[in-house]
Amino acid sequence: MTGQRLPARVLTYWRIRLLLFCIGPAMVGGFLYYTKASWFTIWTFVWMAVFLLLCFVYYPMYYHFYHYAVSDRMVRVSRGVLYNQMDAVYIRNVQYTTLSQTPLQKLMNLASLRLYAAGGVIRIAGLNYEEARLLRVQLGRKMEVEHGEHSDN
């Protein structure tokens, strides 16, 4: 089972999403600028540092370590920078699937696929939309095959 990478533009998507999240801290900074100027400097320095760290260090590393693989019987996702974690689920245990797209993901032709299994959920975020759609259909077929085999036994 060889791992597959997410499309490269997912990195841009994560960065834009982070930039949108920064509107909140920036507004707090603006408020502090007019009320407590000394706090404004500290606050801006902190959130800018976190932003730069996430944007140029954490996300590229996260992207580098993120792999997913789909075999005939199993779906596996491995990720993590500080702690490496691997989630795996047998296709026979998958109960239903959800494909979702936020407006930003739609703009960048990306999608997230969630696989709900008995006992847990596996999420593959930032897939190419077409690929996610095909994967969902393929998984649906495999689920039916596995179910048929299981009920025959």
CA angle 122, 128, 133 (to 5 degrees): 70
Q: Of these, 21, 45, 56, 96, which contacts other proteins (CB under 8 A)?
A: 96
Q: Is 95 in the site for other proteins (CB under 8 A)?
A: yes
Q: Which stretch binds other proteins (CB under 8 A): 4-12, 32-40, 53-61, 131-139?
A: 131-139
49 or 118: CB nearest other proteins: 118
Q: Is 106 in the site for other proteins (CB under 8 A)?
A: yes
- Integer Cα distance of 18 and 14 in angstroms: 6
- Integer Cα distance of 141 and 131 in angstroms: 15
Least distance (Å) between residue 135 CB and other proteins: 12
Q: Hey, what amino acid is at 33?
A: Y
Q: Is 149 in the site for other proteins (CB under 8 A)?
A: no
Burial class of residue 28 (count of CB atoms within 10 Å of its CB; 0-12, 13-18, 19+)? middle
Q: Of these, 49, 118, 123, 130, which contacts other proteins (CB under 8 A)?
A: 118
Strand partners, 32: none
Q: Is 23 in the site for other proteins (CB under 8 A)?
A: no
Site residue total, other proteins (CB under 8 A): 24
Q: Which two tokens stand for residue 71?
A: 């075999």
Report helix, strand or coil for 30: helix
Contact footprint for other proteins (CB under 8 A): 94-103, 106, 116-118, 121, 133, 136-137, 140-141, 143-144, 147, 151
